[in-house]
Amino acid sequence: MGEPLPHIADPAGMIAPECTALIVVDVQVDFAAAHGVIGRYGTDMSPAERAIDRIEALIAAARKAGATVGFMRVMTSPETDSNTLKTWMKRRGSSGSEAICRIGSGGEDYYRVAPEPGDIEISKLAYSSFHGTDLETQLRARGIDTLVVTGLTTECCVDATTRDAFHRDFHTFVVSDACASFDEAVHHHTLKVLSENTSLLVTSEAVVAAWARASQDAQR
């Protein structure tokens, strides 16, 4: 879809496990599963499923290499819905009757991935994983200055999180095949814009290979 995107072929020297966090954005039932809110509208969920296949491999590689893993999650209630969100939805003709990632609905649950002890977990209300959270504090406390970003969706929460990370002086990498939109053109163009303004693009294969070498080096 569109012109080829620029990728870093070998990011090994840029994503050292001791100062890098793998960020998993919003891999949740309502965003990724056929029985979630988006899926119930008849949306083709295969882009999300393919991205999660790669996210699973990245999580395993990060854990083995000793990189930090961070799980971001939208957690909402009627009381936390912002006025701007409700007004925006109303003005664009949406009733907003089926809210997303409601606490207690099951839609807010992780889908196919899950944190383990020692991982970072962030609950958020808005698109950016930094907005109204202590994500930056937790990352700084671990000596993290580099983020490898994955998740859903490319044009929304991945984009917002990546831009906010850049503004907070984190080096940002976006894994192009481990994030997804439900419109391939939107996915492609978002990656293009991020690569031109804030981030370096990498593939899941390149990141897994880099961390595998780091893991091997640590065992020598």
Confidence of residue 95 (pLDDT cuts 50, 70, 90): low
pLDDT for res 142:
98
Torsion of CA 138, 144, 145, 150, to 10 degrees: -80
Return the amino acid letter for 62: A
Name the catalytic one among 30, 101, 156, 157.
157
Report if residue 10 sits inside a domain: no
pLDDT for res 5:
96
CA distance 149 to 122: 14
pLDDT for res 111:
98
Confidence of residue 215 (pLDDT cuts 50, 70, 90): confident
CATH number, domain of 33, equals 3.40.50.850
pLDDT for res 96:
59
Report if residue 206 sits inside a domain: yes
Give yes or no: 124 in active site: yes
On the question of pLDDT at 190 being above 90, the answer is yes
Mean pLDDT of 12-40: 97
Q: How many domains does the chain have?
A: 1
pLDDT for res 181:
98
What pTM did the predictor assign?
0.96
Provide the residue range defining the domain that includes 66. Answer: 17-219
Name the catalytic one among 30, 101, 124, 179.
124
Report if residue 110 sits inside a domain: yes
Torsion of CA 126, 154, 31, 130, to 10 degrees: -30
Report if residue 62 sits inside a domain: yes
